[in-house]
Amino acid sequence: MFRFAVVTGRAAHDVSADLKEALAPVKSKNFAASLEPAKVGELLRAIDGFDGYPTTKLALKLAPLVFVRPGELRGAEWSEIDLDGAEWRIPGARMKMGEQHIVPLSRQAVAILRELQPLSRGSRYVFPSLLTRDRPMSNNTINTALRRLGYTGDEQTGHGFRSIASTLLNEQGFSPDVIELQLAHAERNKVRAAYNKAQRIPERRRMMQAWSDYLDGLRIGPD
């Protein structure tokens, strides 16, 4: 900011330069998640046994299937979702990177959304607040439900479903580029990002269905 001020004549010099070595670097935060397939199966079975509010339970069931960010999930609106076309288009205004994000919906995800329709009480939100139809559910709802299931903040968070998908999809041999596209991560290579605009939707659609089928297998368990 101060370099910009100097260049544009708003400041005589960069006063932040003296702090360069004084400030500790920002450390990236890892979100807790159960990354072993057997543990994921246990988590999915625990979600199936959740006895709280039905909308919250269905949010828990949908989260691992679509692995979007928690804010993107809780703010989902019916106008964004095409159930017949099995596609969810999240507008750029709601995305971290500011670009529209397409989520191909598996058969399992569509079934959950159809179950949610009569529960949304006519709200434009897929997951309306318990207090009013005019707001989405609280940003603490998913994590609170996970705590109720016995998972601490060091074991599993709502954001952790993304880590589960990223880890296990890579282990299964899916294209890292396709996985990153579905996670809506920014391309680190800026030159590559400028030229590579392909969305690879057919591959992502196949991956999302395979992922839901895989989770069904983990839910059933080895027996």
**Phi, psi at 102, each rounded to 5°:** -100, 130
Q: DSSP class of residue 15? A: G
69 catalytically annotated? yes
185 catalytically annotated? yes
Q: What distance in Å separates the CA atoms of residue 112 and residue 105, rounded to the nearest whole number? A: 10
Q: Which of 69, 74, 101, 204 is catalytic?
A: 69
159 catalytically annotated? yes
Q: DSSP class of residue 130? A: S
13 catalytically annotated? no
Q: Which of 57, 74, 101, 159 is catalytic?
A: 159
Q: Dig out the tokens for 164 from the structure.
A: 């589960």
Of 134, 96, 91, 88, the C-alpha closest to 112 is 88
Q: Which of 45, 185, 192, 206 is catalytic?
A: 185
Q: Which of 96, 107, 114, 206 is catalytic?
A: 96
DSSP characters over 43-95: HHHHHHT--S-HHHHHHHHHHHHH---HHHHHT-BGGGEETTTTEEEE-GGGS
CA angle 195, 172, 112 (to 5 degrees): 90
Contact 81, 101 (CB under 8 A): no
Residues known to be catalytic: 69, 96, 159, 162, 185, 195
